[in-house]
Amino acid sequence: MRPAAASRRGAGYRAFLAHRISGLALALFLPAHFLTLGLALEGAEALDRFLAFAELPLVKAAEWGLVVFLAVHLALGARLLVLELGPWRGMRTAWLGWAAGVAVVTGLAFLVVA
């Protein structure tokens, strides 16, 4: 087996993909966020129409997914910063469990609150 293919099987590579994909999802969300802020500046009627749209179940599910992506991106990014700036060496794949746990707890908390 080629070394490059073997390196794509581990937990570190999956964490890399999760961090990048969650970052892309957050970047794709930003234009919609700015559009919403722009609607708030246009007046109460435009914002109320958008907020009525935001109450649809599919939009609520997408909102939950966005919160989970944000938690994944934050947890995995914090893990990378600790690895790069701390005294530890190596992958520390056990820390990936903590990052996943933070994302799951955040997603569940959002479901309870929302």
Alpha-helical regions (H) of 1-114: 3-7, 11-42, 44-53, 57-85, 94-113
Alpha-carbon distance of 62 to 107, in angstroms, equals 12
Residues 6+ apart with CB under 8 A from 36: 47, 50
Residues 6+ apart with CB under 8 A from 79: 15, 92, 95, 96, 98, 99
**pLDDT of 99 strictly over 70:** yes
Spatial CA neighbour of 25 closest among 57, 68, 55, 56: 68
Summarised one tens digit per residue, pLDDT across range 59-79 is 999 999 999 999 999 999 988
Looking at residue 89, its pLDDT comes to 72
Summarised one tens digit per residue, pLDDT across range 22-59 is 999 999 999 988 988 888 888 888 889 988 999 999 99
- Other residues' Cβ atoms within 10 Å of the Cβ of residue 83: 14
